[in-house]
Chain A
Amino acid sequence: MTRAVIYVFALMLLTTAAVAHHGWGSYDANKPLTISGPILSSKFENPHATITVRASDKVWTVTLAPTSRMSTRGATEKVVAVGQDVSAYGYPSTVEKDEMRAERITVNGKTYEMR
């Protein structure tokens, strides 16, 4: 009985998480890119953290992961603070100009998975 309750609860959590926000649908996975540069602004917020990065071509808005996932993987607020040099691999938005969603980021030689 207890086990059944735990399974049901786990299933509810799993189902729920699948709804999380705008997903990957509005990003073009056929055009992966890597941008690097200093972080100009940083919001460590839900539904996911975002940073702006001064890349060689322009300023990109980079959508990261939910804060709980970031923290769990060690990509804390300090790691993506303003002034840090970041390299982000991800896909450009098909909706918003100069926005991309990061698959993974590298800061100070350490890579953090965002998915």
Chain B
Amino acid sequence: MTDAAPAIFVALEQSGFAAAIRQSPWLYPAANVGHIVFLVLFAGAIAVMDVRLLGGLSATAPAPLLAWARNFALAALAGMAVTGSLLFSAEASHLALNPVFQLKAILFAAGLINVAIYEFWARPVVEHIASGSSMPARAKATGVLSLSGSQSPLAGAALPISERGRTASSTACAGGDRPDATSRSNFNDALSLVRPAGGAVPGVAVRPRQSVR
């Protein structure tokens, strides 16, 4: 907990709700897994929409396909919101000050702009297009925009992963550890959710490492 964060985040982190998340052995890891599962579902649904706007999947008229994928994406987003708020509450004061998290919030806002462009600019012109027809330039532009960079929530969520991957391996080298140590132990953490504590999983056990200094 850090007092440097705005009071509302400090209060959130100090709440009984946040303490319960931290103290549960499974809630935080489960929310962590769920957040990524929903992210993958969300990104897939958005990609289907982008592809259709660009003229792919043209055997199906755009309106029903876009409407279906949109509902799917909204449901996945709701799942991300629930799991994400659990993860955020547990350490709200630190995350509020974390530059990577702040960047993620900005990218999320950019994603909302992308949503507005689709809803108010592109969707009206593709609603009544029949299957097999070519898509108007406006729809294609929206699809390119979304696929190329404005799929921001996805980019935002991916950022911490790459940032961590980079720094974890540099740390590993400096410490003389195996470069894959972090991902391996993370894998074991995840496995420990689905097997009894202390149980061995053949082939993925972490080899005890000795200090090199």
Q: Are B209 and A46 in contact (CB under 8 A)?
A: no
The residues of A that contact B191 with a CB separation of less than 8 Å are 13
Contacts of A60 in B (CB 8 A): none
Q: How far is the CB of B122 from chain A (nearest CB, A)?
A: 31
**CA A30 to CA B208, docked complex, whole Å:** 22
Task: Give the distance to chain B from A48, nearest Cβ to Cβ, in Å.
Answer: 10
Q: B36–A12 contact, CB under 8 A?
A: yes
Residues 47-67 of A at the B interface (beta carbon under 8 Å): 47, 65-67
Q: Which partner residue on chain B sits nearest A12 by CB separation?
A: B37
Q: Sort chain A's interface into a size bin.
A: 35 or more
Please tell me which stretch of B55-63, B68-76, B105-113, B182-190 contacts chain A, meaning at least 4 of its Cβ atoms lie within 8 angstroms of it. B182-190
CA of A57 to CA of B116, assembled, Å: 56
Quick check: is A109 within 8 A (CB to CB) of the other chain?
A: no
Minimum distance in angstroms from A64 CB to a CB of chain B: 13
Interface magnitude class on chain B: 35 or more
Contact assessment for B36 and A15 in the assembled complex, using a CB-CB cutoff below 8 Å: yes
Q: Is the CB of A20 within 8 A of B174?
A: no
B164 near A72: Cβ-Cβ < 8 Å: no
Out of B98, B194, B211, which one reaches A22, CB within 8 Å? Answer: B98
Which of B23, B171, B197 is A68 in contact with, Cβ under 8 Å? B197
Quick check: is B21 within 8 A (CB to CB) of the other chain?
Answer: yes
Chain B 182-213 interface residues, beta-carbon cutoff 8 Å to A: 182-183, 185-194, 197-198, 206, 208-209, 211, 213
Residues of A within 8 A of B23 (CB): 45-46
Is A47 within 8 A of B91, CB to CB? Answer: yes
A32 & B187 in contact (Cβ 8 Å cutoff): no
* With A68-B193, A68-B197 as contacts: A18 and B29 at CB distance below 8 Å: no
Q: Is B141 an interface residue (CB 8 A)?
A: no
Contact A115 B177 (CB under 8 A): yes
- Verify B32–A24 contact, CB threshold 8 A: no
Q: What are the residues of chain B within 8 A of A25 when measuring CB–CB?
A: 163-164, 166-168
Cβ–Cβ < 8 Å partners of B2 in chain A: 96
Cβ–Cβ contact B22 & A17, under 8 A: no
Residues of A within 8 A of B161 (CB): 15, 18-19
Check B186 against A18 for contact (C-beta < 8 Å). yes
A18-B167 in contact given A13-B190, A68-B189 (Cβ < 8 Å): no
Smallest CB separation, B159 vs chain A (Å): 10
How far apart are the CA atoms of A25 and B170 in the complex, in Å? 9
- When C-beta atoms are compared, the residue in chain A nearest to B187 turns out to be A14
In the bound assembly, the distance between CA atoms of A113 and B40 in angstroms comes to 32
Binding site for B on A (CB under 8 A): 12-25, 27, 29-30, 32, 43, 45-47, 65-69, 71-72, 89, 91, 96, 103-104, 113, 115
The 19 sampled A-B contact pairs (Cβ below 8 Å) are A12-B33, A13-B33, A15-B161, A16-B35, A19-B35, A19-B164, A20-B186, A23-B164, A24-B167, A24-B182, A30-B174, A45-B23, A47-B22, A68-B193, A69-B188, A71-B25, A72-B198, A91-B171, A104-B211
Given contacts A16-B33, A17-B32, A47-B28, 7 further A-B contacts (CB under 8 A): A12-B37, A13-B190, A14-B187, A23-B168, A71-B25, A72-B192, A115-B185
